[in-house]
Amino acid sequence: MAIRKPDPRQAALALLRDFESRFDPGTLPPVPVERIAESHLGLLVEEVDDVRALPGAPTDQGRLSGLLDPATKTIWLDRREAARSPGRRRFTIAHEIAHWVLHVPATTGARHEPGCRAGEVAEDDEGTARARGRRRLESEANAFARELLMPEVLVVAQASETGRNLPMLAERFDVSVPALRLRLLTLGLLPPWMAAAPVVDDDAGR
């Protein structure tokens, strides 16, 4: 009998609803992703100079954006990357939350190996992970992160309210402009030609 795996987007919305039922999140957006990690899920968010220096972290995969340590319930973030872009920092937290929610339970088959490379924590999902299984888990984590930070119903409402003003929307959701633009595109809220528009914020896809 096939075990039905949770859809990453549905899982993100379920988490958000669960959080809202226990805490008063105030006015959304932005989604208080760090508070969800810490207060709701009991995950500690920490920054470190080099994630690869942590015990158990892979050292052969280049620089890591983040790492979830299930044993100590800690999300580790690359300090430099987090400082460079608050939106990027929030995306990596949401991505690591996804691994906690979707991949840590031992029933999913493919085990999530620790450490998420910058190209894998991809706001535009153009990462170049080699292993197919690993790529699937990273892609699920990114889909979850996008839904958590930019829930469809909020994006639709805010896009209409702001006249699809990308910088304003990115500020409201506290995400990078490229991440926000991709979200609008995939929701059919922007014409396709805007996919190629130049951006100031350069942190997508790293």
Q: Which residues bind Zn ion (CB under 5 A)?
A: 116, 138, 141
Decide if 104 contacts 112 (C-beta within 8 A): yes
Of 97 and 169, which has the nearer Cβ to Zn ion?
97
Q: Report d(CA 111, CA 86) in Å as an integer.
A: 29
Q: Report d(CA 65, CA 63) in Å as an integer.
A: 7
> Shortest gap between Cβ of 138 and Zn ion (angstroms)?
5
Nearest in space to 66 (alpha carbons), one of 56, 54, 76: 76
> Shortest gap between Cβ of 32 and Zn ion (angstroms)?
21
Q: Which two tokens stand for residue 34?
A: 């760090």
> Shortest gap between Cβ of 120 and Zn ion (angstroms)?
5
Of 138 and 172, which has the nearer Cβ to Zn ion?
138
Across the strands, what pairs with 46? 76
Backbone angles phi, psi at 104, to 5 degrees: -75, -40
Of 36 and 184, which has the nearer Cβ to Zn ion?
36
Of 45 and 141, which has the nearer Cβ to Zn ion?
141
> Shortest gap between Cβ of 154 and Zn ion (angstroms)?
24
Of 29 and 87, which has the nearer Cβ to Zn ion?
87
- From residue 149, give the alpha-carbon distance in Å to each of 103, 114, 144: 19, 23, 9
Q: Report d(CA 30, CA 25) in Å as an integer.
A: 10
> Shortest gap between Cβ of 205 and Zn ion (angstroms)?
14
Q: Residue with the closest Cβ to Zn ion?
A: 116
